[in-house]
Amino acid sequence: MTTTMRVFWIAGVVVLLDQAAKATVLQLMYREQSIPLLGDWLRLTFTENPGMAFGITIGPTGTVTILSLVATVLVAAYIYQVRNDYGPYRWSLAFILGGALGNIIDRVFYGVLLDYGPYFAGRVVDFIHVSLWQGFIPRGIPFFGGAYLELFPIWNVADMSIVLGVVGVMIFHQSFHERRIAKRRAAKMSERGPTPRARPRPAAVFSDLGRDVGTPPAVPPALSEAVPYRRRDGREARDGEASANGQFWTVEGEFM
């Protein structure tokens, strides 16, 4: 299996799991029904979201769907661009792509399939209800101090896949860029060809010449023997004795 196909296989599995879970919820639950799983912390609550995350809507009906389609196409194009790069980074992008496609199917087709609106006017089916925190906001916080707040995002398999992919991109993006830079450097070096052989240093040249000439001849024994130095008056000079007052040393009676 090629690297590109592996990425799209991951995205396809995410889409299948997401749509299967939503179809089960549509068949077995009614809207606004809530089933506790772990007390109030985790429940199954069937809701429909006409907008983006947390129900945020932008512009007229269908605007969110169009923006989601554009973003998904850009993600797919980027995945194709980095199809031969660092694997974990590409797999994280595949989770984002699969989650985006799963929610786009809801927005494009669910209005017609569930008979409540036209194409591109569908609502995303959410059912995983996690109550993260609930209580009063401290009064010292501007604008919201003293208000009661409950953080309970209701999402689906596609949303979970997008969050997982974003976390993976944040973790692996540095390794991805480092490997990409190293690959570019290696490509440039291969284009330049092999590195020219370095010229030998002068010391190396002279050392080679010395080896070529060979070992110098031995000193003759007559020259290597110590020759006594005598002063002009005939007496033998002691070691380290210097000439003074115009007296010159002689070697065996000869003037130096």
Residue written as token pair 């512009």: 59
| Per-residue DSSP letter, 180 | H
Q: Is 239 a catalytic residue?
A: no
Q: Which of 159, 208, 212, 233 is catalytic?
A: 159
Q: What is the sign, positive or negative, of the torsion defined by CA atoms of 185, 187, 192, 194? A: positive
Rounded CA-CA distance 209/230 in Å is: 42
Rounded CA-CA distance 204/215 in Å is: 17
The secondary element (H helix, E strand) that includes residue 38 is strand 34-38
Q: Is 126 a catalytic residue?
A: yes
Give the CA dihedral 51, 57, 61, 67, nearest 10 degrees: -80
Strands 34-38 and 148-151: unpaired
| Catalytic sites, residue numbers | 126, 159
